[in-house]
Amino acid sequence: IAARNMQKAQTTVDEIRAGYPKADVSCRELDLSSLKSVSAFAESYGAEFDRLDVLINNAGVMIPPYSKTEDGFEIQLGTNHLGHFALTGHLLPLLKKTPGSRVVVVSSMAHRSGKLDFSDLNWETRPYKTGKAYGDSKIANLHFGYALAAKLKDSGGTPMVVAAHPGWSSTELMRHSSVVTLMSKIFAQPGDMGALPTLRAGFDDDATAGDYFGPANLFGMRGHPVKVTSNARSHDTQIAAQLWRQSEELTGVTY
């Protein structure tokens, strides 16, 4: 388990071991809002393990007040997209040499409101709109996932890249908005249900590169995971190519 808060991560490890005594599980520090932390995690993982079967890019922050990562990125784009872009790049050699490996990109229904402004990715000149910035980061996840899936298809297909979204799930992600927290009591499904699309993306034998999984019911907010579609903009290859170039420039990680 890669986690920013090691105390919470260890509590989760203890809970898993209590329920499944034979589980081989551990935690390791990883802060996706820090390129230094991302690099250090990848280096330490590669030093200990010689394979990586499934990388689930699940870290996220949602609608916080304006702030920047330690590398100067707007907090949501920096954590939700750029951190994962860098992490996947660092771990790609290990993924490539692991037969049948996968990368799961976790997006959101909020991608539908996303429209990246490449002249101001870090919101330094525009009035900050945290909901819009969140949607931008979530469509960035899909631009990245679809682009990586296409690139890898042309070079052997490993790892296979699959996307997912959790619908509206009751988690701490909502903590920055009292309104969203209140509405969650009506619309949200339990967190373990929200995890199922990600698990299907990571382990369904019938999944193919570029698939996108999400809940089946209530306009994608609740239910068991099925194959779903994302909006037309998320499939725009020109936007994806520009985002890829800028992501490499900003992170210093090249594929």
DSSP secondary-structure letter at 169?
A: B
Residues 6+ away with beta carbon under 8 Å from 246: 118, 121
**Is there a contact between 172 and 124 (Cβ–Cβ < 8 Å)?**
no
Distance CA 167, CA 190 (A): 10
Q: What is the DSSP letter of 127?
A: P
Cα-trace Rg, the chain: 17
What is the C-alpha separation between 80 and 156, in angstroms, rounded? 27
User: How many CB atoms are located within 10 Å of the residue 224 CB?
Assistant: 11
The number of residues in the chain equals 255
| Whether 146 is catalytic | no
Q: Which residue has the tokens 């002249």?
A: 119
Q: Which residues pair with 29 in a beta bridge?
A: 3
Q: Which of 134, 146, 212, 255 is catalytic?
A: 134
Catalytic residues: 134
